[in-house]
Amino acid sequence: MTANRITPPLAALIAGLALAAGVAHAAEYRAPRTAFGTPDLEGIWTNTAITMLQRPPLFKTLSATDKEATAFEAMFGKFLAANGVSSAPVDPKAPAPSVTKEVQNSDWVEMDLHMARVNGQVRTSWIVDPPDGRVPFTAAAKKARAIAAKAPEDFDGPEGRDTMERCLTAIGSPEGPPMMNTGFNANYQILQTPDHIAILVEMNHAVRTIRMRDRNHIPDAVQPWMGDSVGWWDGDTLVVETANLNPKGAHVYALGGGFNYSPKAHITERFTRTAKDQILYEFTIDDPATFTRPWSAQIPMRTAKGPIYEYACHEGNYALPNILAGARQEERAAAAAKATTTVAAK
């Protein structure tokens, strides 16, 4: 009997057909439907990963090899360890820490310490356009950011403190828009009705409400913390347009660099369920006052094990009064020192 032998051309043909079949299978995926017929995005999802908003200089293209990803992940892990940050799961049976031990959120992260993949491709940045993976700030925006970075902190009153510090917005901007990955509490629960879609954001226990029957935005003078979001279906993709963004909560924090947007910014998000356990989340930001051009990013979301627990932020109740009281004490001490110096000079 002559053994069957696959020639190189035939092998190439088989490989090509297999690849085409895989692509076709992925393209044929159709999201399940809700009871009212729309694509079903409901469930608990997460977007944790160590891929950054902007592309780190060590990467030159949007995708990385497995070897490059492994090296970057190892480097990231060493950085966390060197700064005393643990990524080990918290043991619910462990005793409470000693009252003498300082405990901070920065001591622990709850995230997938791998670079994210989109369509099997390791992503070096969330930004896909511009091709360089960088936020396209205008010259004026760059100047404003530089001035803000050097400006002294405002301790005059609670309104001058950061919205995260006041428990008005989440830490790291996971609530969006856009919804960025963060170091902990990066889970989302999506609920759908014919008229609205709600996204419960674990961080700060915030809820985004998207109106599905009315594409007219509220008056410009009304500026909610997460803006005003209206949505519609484009085939199997949920499209969400957000305007009326509140300038006081307009700083987005993200791994690899944040950004501010102006009240005139428009953010368009797209949610497409690409598999049983995956949603491709995309966003485009159009804000001529801040950026030289519209720019876009992609972040994969995957199913997460629930439930989502309450995230109760108390810093606004306790830490904020202490911060302001400390500032007043420093002012009194400075005034006393100045008076002593003046008397001594006489």
The pLDDT tens digits along the chain (346 residues) read 333 333 444 444 333 433 344 444 445 789 999 999 999 999 999 999 999 999 999 999 999 999 999 999 999 988 888 877 777 776 778 787 665 544 544 466 788 889 999 999 999 999 999 999 999 999 999 998 899 888 888 999 988 888 888 888 888 788 889 999 988 888 999 999 999 999 999 988 889 999 999 899 999 999 998 999 999 999 999 999 999 998 877 678 888 888 888 888 999 999 999 999 999 999 999 999 999 999 999 999 999 988 888 888 876 678 888 899 999 999 999 999 988 887 777 6
For residue 185, the model assigns a pLDDT of 86
Give, in order, the Cα–Cα distances in Å from 108 to each of 80, 180, 217. Answer: 9, 19, 40
Query: Which long-range CB contacts under 8 A does 76-80 form with residues at least 24 apart?
Result: 76/50, 76/113, 77/113, 80/109, 80/113
Backbone φ and ψ of 180, nearest 5°:
-95, 155
Nearest one of 99, 104, 89 to 315, comparing CA atoms: 104
User: Which residues are CB-neighbours of 66 under 8 A, at least 6 positions away?
Assistant: 122
What tokens were used for 235? 């085939």
Contact 194, 36 (CB under 8 A): yes
Task: State which amino acid sits at residue 176.
Answer: G
Domain span including residue 167? 43-48+129-303
Residue 21 within a domain: no
* Number of domains observed in the structure of the chain: 1
- In the prediction, which pLDDT does 70 show? 95
Count how many residues are written for the chain. Answer: 346
| 188 in Cβ contact with 45 (< 8 Å) | yes
Q: In whole angstroms, what separates CA 255 from the centre of its chain? A: 8
109 occurs within a structural domain: no
Grouping H, G, I as helix, E, B as strand and the rest as coil, residue 128 is: strand
Identify whether 322 is part of a domain.
Answer: no
Rounded to whole angstroms, the Cα distance separating 73 from 50 reads: 8
State the pLDDT at residue 287: 95
The verdict on residue 138 lying in a domain is yes
| Spatial distance between the Cα atoms of 233 and 274, rounded to a whole number of angstroms | 15
Q: Find, among 230, 227, 229, 225, the residue nearest to 213 by Cα.
A: 230
Is residue 291 included in any domain, yes or no? yes
Q: How far apart are CA 13 and CA 24, in angstroms?
A: 16
Is the pTM higher than 0.75?
yes
pLDDT, residue 4, reads 37
* Cα separation, 222 vs 169, whole angstroms: 17
* Strands 63-64 vs 228-234: parallel, antiparallel or unpaired: unpaired
- CA dist 82 and 304 (Å) reads 29
Amino acid identity of residue 119, one-letter, is N
In the three-class reduction of DSSP (H, G, I as helix; E, B as strand; rest coil), residue 121 is classed as: strand
Give just the sign of the alpha carbon dihedral 212, 216, 218, 223: positive
Whether residue 33 is contained in a domain is answered as no
Sequence-distant (6+) residues with CB within 8 A of 132 are 55
**242 in any annotated domain:** yes
For residue 270, the tally of other CB atoms under 10 A from its CB is 17
Position 237 in a domain: yes
